[in-house]
Structure 1
Amino acid sequence: MGHDRLIGEVYLAAAEIAARVAELGAEIAADFEGREPLLVAPLKSSTIFLADLSRALPILHTIDVIEMAAYSDGRRGGVRLLKDLDVPIGGRHVLLVEDVVDTGLTLAFLTRTLAERDPASITSVTLLDRPYRRLVENIGLRYVGFTVPDELFAGYGLGLEEQWRALPDLRIIPTEALPAAATDAA
């Protein structure tokens, strides 16, 4: 069985994504003209978007990555850092590069954590946004690629059980492709 049958229909074709990333690059370049922003992306699913956005930016900039993990202490969930930034951000203009923003909890945590390091500014860009799921407001989300429905996606960096991240387009994961644990929770 090929990838197409396993992960469903194309939601955004590679050409649509590339065109929107180019537009985002132009918007960001205009807003950051004369500054050298630091693009920071959480591993793993944001890395393809980060690479394409970096190539779309005609201004000087640097990149770094951070890795986070969700945890639960039995009473409540949270986020912790697994891999921190390699460069200091004091006085820098930081652009957080996200794959998907929905509740805003992870982006709020990351913004709060990095704000303690005295950057000149922190703003965010996301490829996919689900504003109707937001639990946290005022998260500094300035640039949005696409507003999407409440579906699970694969491709363009997003995966399911570490598969299909390298697909060039974004596909909807059909319910029958989900692991039993995911469908039981629904």
Structure 2
Amino acid sequence: MQNVIERVLVTREEIEKRCDELGKEISEAYKQDKEAPLLVALLKGSVPFLSELIKHIDLDIQFDFMNVSSYQGTQSVGDVKILKDLDISIKDRRILLVEDIVDTGRTLKKVTQLLMNKGAADVKVVALLDKPERRVVDIEADYIGFTIPDEFVVGFGLDYNEHYRCFPYVGVLKKEVYK
């Protein structure tokens, strides 16, 4: 199955090391707060990242999930749909939105606005990957794992039509797979 990968961009070891660094940075940023941030993970892609990241956050965190969709195949279509909303109230809570990749920024912007409209005290973003070359809206993550080039990537939660999420690394998908 891994013969669909052109090359590995980020190894499992690099992801683990960077999650440790991010966890320490996040812990330090929120340690003075009376209440730890609520981590809101966007399904399905961010689940492996969330799972690794929370091992390294030294706070009594809670987390919840949203399922949003904005992709068809390899393209962001710009229409963000909420498929599953949060199970708990976020009124007056500090939110740390956990995202697998910031690409065009459309999904992140919409979800951030939605969370603020629901009464969040503030919303910060931690993303495993950032692809700034593709940005079409003005939004940035507060914590970034890795900045990557404009290539179609899969693995560690990222998929192509629901396939290849289970790779323990982030790799560039061969063009012949999706063309």
| Fold shared per TM-score above 0.5 | yes
Q: How does 1:147-186 map to 2 (within 5 A)?
A: 147-178=147-178, 183=179
The one-letter amino acid paired with 2:67 is E
Q: Is the 8 A contact 1:25 1:53 kept in 2?
A: yes
Deviation for aligned residue 1:77: 4.5
RMSD, aligned α-carbons: 1.8
Deviation for aligned residue 1:100: 0.6
- How many residues of Structure 1 are paired with residues of Structure 2 in the alignment? 173
Percent of pairs identical after alignment? 40
Give the match for residue 5 of structure 2: 7
Deviation for aligned residue 1:80: 1.9
Instruction: Give every structure 1 segment of 4 or more consecutive aligned residues whose post-TM-superposition deviation is greater than 3 Å.
Output: none
| Cα separation, 2, equivalents of 1:43 and 1:6 | 23
1:66-119 alpha-carbon deviations (Å, 9 max, x no partner): 011239xxxx94212110000100111100111110211110000111101221
TM-score (norm 1): 0.87
**Contiguous gaps of at least 5 residues in structure 2:** 72-76
| Cα separation, 2, equivalents of 1:77 and 1:7 | 27
Deviation for aligned residue 1:4: 2.6
Q: How does 1:18-33 map to 2 (within 5 A)?
A: 18-33=16-31
Q: Is the 8 A contact 2:94 2:122 kept in 1?
A: yes
Give the match for residue 62 of structure 1: 62
Q: Does 1:16 align with 2:17?
A: no
| Cα separation, 2, equivalents of 1:117 and 1:111 | 10
Q: What is the SS of the residue equivalent to 1:141?
A: coil
Give the match for residue 113 of structure 1: 114
**Contiguous gaps of at least 5 residues in structure 1:** none
Q: Does 1:92 align with 2:114?
A: no
TM-score (norm 2): 0.90
Q: What is the SS of the residue equivalent to 1:113?
A: helix
Deviation for aligned residue 1:14: 0.3
1:30-69 alpha-carbon deviations (Å, 9 max, x no partner): 0011331111111111111011111111111111110112
Larger mean CA deviation between 19-28 and 62-71 belongs to 62-71
**Which protein has the larger Cα radius of gyration, Structure 1 or Structure 2?**
1
Q: Is the 8 A contact 2:37 2:95 kept in 1?
A: yes
| Cα separation, 1, equivalents of 2:150 and 2:140 | 22
Q: What is the SS of the residue equivalent to 1:9?
A: strand
Give the match for residue 135 of structure 2: 134
| Cα separation, 2, equivalents of 1:141 and 1:7 | 27
Q: Would the alpha carbon gap of residues 140 and 32 (structure 1) be closer, same or farther in structure 2, given more than 3 Å must change?
A: farther
The one-letter amino acid paired with 1:23 is E
Deviation for aligned residue 1:167: 1.3
